[in-house]
Amino acid sequence: MFKSGKSRSDSPSTDTYIGPGSAFEGRLASNGSIRIEGRVSGSVHSKGDVTIGEQGVVEADIKAHNVIIAGTVSGNVHATGKLTIKPKGSLTGDILTALLEINEGARYEGTSRMIPASGASQARDGDKPADRKKEGEKREEPPRREEQQRQDKRTG
C-alpha cells in the first residue's frame, strides 16, 4: 500500500487531461504532459508537452517544452523545444520557439521569433555581426581591384 503511494510521488511527471465537454478557467500548471480536448481559458504551463486535440479550444498563453496544436488556440505560445501546428490546427497569437513546424492546411496569424536550442547557439549568434563585417569587407575588395585595373589601363 505504501509502495504504490511512494512510486506515484517518485514519478517525475503527472499527465493532465481535459476531456471533450469539459471546461477549465484559470492557471493550469503541470510537471508532466497536458492534453486538452475541451475548453481552457487562462494560462497553461507545463514542464513537459502540451497537446491541443482537434476538439480542443484554448484561449490562453501556453508555455511548455513541446506544443502540438490540432485544435484552436488564441494566445501566445512559448515552446522551449518544438511547436507543431497540425493540418486542422489554428493559432492566433505570437510564437517563441526553438523549432517550428506548420503543416499544410494549418492556420496561423501572428509573429514568430526563434530562440536558440542551446547555450552554444547563443555564443555563435553573438559572433554573427563580426562575421558579417568580414564578409562585407571581402565584397568591397573586388570592386577596388577592378577600379585600379581600369585606372592602370587609362594611364598605361
Distances (CA, A) of 142 to 83, 145, 147, 148: 44, 5, 9, 10
Confidence label for 34 from pLDDT (cuts 50, 70 and 90): very high
pLDDT one-digit tens code per residue, 36-93: 999 999 999 999 999 999 999 999 999 999 999 999 999 999 999 999 999 999 999 9
Note the pLDDT of residue 146: 55
What distance in Å separates the CA atoms of residue 1 and residue 103, rounded to the nearest whole number? 47
Task: Pick 38 or 2 by higher pLDDT.
Answer: 38
- Residue ranges per structural domain of the chain: 11-114, 117-156
- Answer yes or no: are the C-beta atoms of 73 and 92 closer than 8 Å: yes
pLDDT at 4 over 60: no
pLDDT at 130 over 60: no
Confidence label for 15 from pLDDT (cuts 50, 70 and 90): confident
pLDDT at 140 over 60: no
Confidence label for 125 from pLDDT (cuts 50, 70 and 90): very low
**Measured in whole angstroms, how far is the alpha carbon of residue 104 from the centre of its chain?**
18
Note the pLDDT of residue 117: 79
Note the pLDDT of residue 103: 98
Q: Of the candidates 58, 4, 9, which has an alpha carbon nearest to the alpha carbon of residue 35?
A: 58
Note the pLDDT of residue 155: 59
Note the pLDDT of residue 150: 58
The DSSP H or E segment spanning 154 is helix 119-155
Note the pLDDT of residue 129: 41
